[in-house]
Structure 1
């Protein structure tokens, strides 16, 4: 998970309600790796990697080192993904590494990427948002019958609007490393300006060198909260409280996994020390049940929870603040994989992840995956899985050390997921007038009406009856909440397009691709 720096990174700006920019005092970041060739037909790659975060970057440089010709596509303009988000070059950041945990390992891989791009072993395509992966040419057996797909076509939207264009890449194998997005459990007032995702607050700090406010409450559940709070206080914000819905006593049943990862204890101690030095209160088994304000959040109500996350009467208190950073963990981003028909499984944290074998293969031949798509586990685990996948694609044994590290870190990730899984009673803080779907402005009462009076028993039926999940984010923000209100377990999100695509791009596709 993203972690906090151990020393100040320099002065940062504070976000104004209508201004998300801020001054910078850190100097120039490492130069971005330039894009590879994108014009004209390109040769078929041995491996196409979707996503240049920790998993995808590790997979690409490892595969290139093993002799494969790699194409690396990423929606961002620089490698690193959400975890290693860079300040914009114009901000003149002197020490971006001070805002990150594990920066030396990333810097080594970024340098390797640059070297492989220069040598022609990797074609790096930033600002390429892959919206679908389709079967291309099929292999043919000696008897002329069709065999498993021998070539894949990756369709992407390239560049920024309005100059964006259609792009396509062909490859013999595909590795999906699309990461994850934040899980949000709505509450009254969560649409107020100044309420941001916990990961979003960290992204503002890492990418824009700005704080979401001067007095920031950090709330939700999961290890990301401590990292975010630590980053904010080191950067100059006041954090009156970290509000954690789970209880750390939940780790008591996970002792073997904890003992196998002593480094995590050191990391946790670092967080605790930073928060103690800045007099940050840690409220476990508590949740923000309402945000208050007119033009911007001005205070939050915090209540104690029972074991099922139901707010206990008589325990509510108000905490003044001008910003709230809130999140309940991460949700694997699976649209490309589920669009291909890759098998999924329920995770212990209540989300859905891909079914992967010991070599990171999905259930679809020719498609591999690494990182958060196989279950939320953090950057270190993602990089190891990227390496393992690259060895598998190249047919090169990875060595027992990598496999042991993956097993150790995955066990710890499962322990965290178990401890911080949301309890079923959290919907108790949702009044009927509280907005659940922000895009379509659907309140909880209308969703309850769909389930209680109209017979809806799943999120899809609720969507058809209320439009919850039909907006711009396509249910990424409200999906878990709608499913919980409908009484449905988490289900894989299947959609033909993983991002908005201009109609002209679809019209330009060859007939066989429609």
Structure 2
């Protein structure tokens, strides 16, 4: 274990990690091995994040059928065990960070610990010496007519249900959107018994070739990705799943739920090509057009955000806010290998680890290789502007508040404003329970304006009773070696 030169008179440097996915677990282990005492917070009841979704049972009791649905399970088990067994790490699951503040002496986090539906969650305030944000990302879905129907869901939600509960939302399903993520989703659904009628990638063959084929030797540093792709391709052949490029689901149809979808060819700008539409009967459609990073805490803490809407970090994964580091998909979508490398780098530096550490140098080398994958994914699968052509005036853009495209444009016209925040207040787009997490990128695209980056005093919905209890609670920093709530 490397000695921590930044430990103060009270003991080891205290590092808080928000998120227990690949980046968060890696950061926690690195920080602890660099001498810090670490608290890991995650809103879920199990560790693993969105990537390592699994049933809520002990990892050594997973059945073979469950293991078939996991990716990199050996890596997760080893990393999770190392975090769970380390005496300097406390893991708090069901721990929702509802507010984050920036103070002269460092960041401050307000947390509610307990199941989300519990009316008596325990308030907790943390004042760490250093904070690592590993908050991940969620699916980005472009709206289309009928996307509010039951049976239309994100590809990530479909995969989560399949992995955690072995449930396929539908028997005859369509997977559509953009990006390599569509392939494992289709494979997972096929394994739990769904008939996958097709995977429809919006980017055409030329765009995919421009993104992935030039200078293939640059991908040599990420052999795992090539092996994954080969495995998914073999699964598609085995399950006879068609994979079609330059196509999209442009509408869903049905009375009480999805009964069919309209699929059309797209041009290079992702605009539908007239006359290519066809109807496919299906009872579910799963859509993902890439991922949107979870930025709420980073924005609340005043960190710089890039033009591409990611947390800006330096070579040490340090943000612009003193005492705050970030890692994983909140800093760029590059996959699990990048998240693991970035998490290690962030955790090591947050703990004040030595720069000549051998494991740090290895993580930096891994990060360099994985960022080539990120660049190519954006070049090959990045969203093109023509998708707005498949919208109609009555298409809902904000499902929470049932705001249509026509109503959004009318609000912008009547107020002579294209500012997303102004239009949100007049149209109510983004004021629902998800607080714009799902619709904000689409709203900004329709308005032709940069996406709004709003700092919210409360970053996630909480009960008034929770706020009242939090007001009267004291603060504490969990002691190293205290009982952890980590049910794998």
CA distance in 1, matches of 2:71, 2:463: 38
CA positional deviation for 1:500: 1.1
2:253 to 276, 292, 299: 292
Match status 1:129 vs 2:96: yes
How far off is 1:511 after superposition? 12
Counterpart pick for 2:320 among 357, 363, 375: 363
Counterpart selection for 1:316 from 246, 270, 277: 277
SS of the residue aligned with 2:252?
strand
Question: Quick one: which of 73, 76, 87 aligns to 1:103?
Answer: 73
Give the TM-score normalised by structure 1.
0.84
Superposed, 1:61-210 pairs within 5 Å as: 61-89=29-57, 93-95=62-64, 96-116=66-86, 119=87, 121-135=88-102, 138=104, 149=105, 151-160=106-115, 161-210=118-167
Q: Which runs of 5+ in 1 are unaligned?
A: 1-41, 139-148
Normalised by the length of structure 2, the TM-score is 0.88
- In structure 2, the residue matched to 1:396 is 354
Q: Is the 8 A contact 1:44 1:170 kept in 2?
A: no
* CA distance in structure 2 between the aligned counterparts of 1:263 and 1:71, rounded to whole angstroms: 30
Partner Cα distance (2:311, 2:334) in 1: 13
Structure 2: stretches of 5+ with no match in the other structure:
1-9, 476-488
Do the aligned residues in 2 keep the contact of 1:246 with 1:285 (CA within 8 Å)?
Answer: yes
Aligned residues: 453
Q: Quick one: distance in 2 between partners of 1:88 and 1:222?
A: 29
Which stretch has the larger CA shift, 496-505 or 420-429?
496-505
> 2:298 matched to 1:337?
yes
- The residue aligned with 2:23 is 55
Matches within 5 A, 1:235-314: 235-254=192-211, 255-256=214-215, 257-314=218-275
Moved more, 304-313 or 92-101: 92-101
Q: 1:88, 1:208 within 8 Å by CA — same for their partners in 2?
A: no
Equivalence for 1:7? none
Q: Is the Cα–Cα contact under 8 Å of residues 45 and 170 in structure 1 kept in the other structure?
A: no
Deviation at 1:206, TM superposition (A): 1.1
User: Where does residue 373 of structure 2 map in the other structure?
Assistant: 412
In 1, the alpha carbon distance for the partners of 2:13 and 2:125 equals 12
Tell whether the 8 Å contact from 1:199 to 1:327 is kept in structure 2 after alignment. Answer: yes
1:240 aligned counterpart, secondary structure? strand
Alignment of 1:431-470 (within 5 A): 431-470=392-431
Counterpart of 2:448 (choices 455, 463, 487) is 487
Once the two structures are TM-superposed, the CA of residue 456 in structure 1 deviates from its matched residue by 2.2
1:132 CA displacement: 2.0
The 3 A distance-change label for structure 1 pair 395 and 164 is same
User: Structure 2 vs 1, CA of residues 182 and 188 (structure 1 numbering), >3 Å: closer, same or farther?
Assistant: same
| TM-fit CA distance, 1:235 | 2.1
* 2: CA distance, partners of 1:375 / 1:438: 27
Deviation per CA, 1:159-188, whole angstroms, max 9, x where unpaired? 122232322222110001111111111111
2:130–2:324 Cα contact (<8 Å) kept? yes
- Cα separation, 2, equivalents of 1:509 and 1:162: 16
RMSD: 2.2
SS in 2 for 1:265: helix
Between 1 and 2, higher relative CO (CA 8 Å, sep ≥ 6) is seen in 2
Distance 2:30 2:126 in 1: 20
d(CA) in 2 for partners of 1:203, 1:512? 36
CA separation in 2, counterparts of 1:165 and 1:261?
A: 43
- Per-residue CA distance 1:140-162 (angstroms, 9 max, x = gap): xxxxxxxxx2x432111211222
Question: Structure 1 stretches (4+) deviating beyond 4 angstroms?
Answer: 42-45, 90-93, 510-513
* Deviation at residue 503 of structure 1 after TM alignment: 2.4
Matched, 1:382 2:339: yes
- For the Cα contact (< 8 Å) 1:458–1:487, is it kept in 2? no
SS in 2 for 1:470: coil
Structure 1 CA distance for aligned equivalents of residues 231 and 205 of structure 2: 16
CA distance 1:444–1:512, shift in 2 (3 Å):
farther
Change (3 A) 1:264 1:44: closer
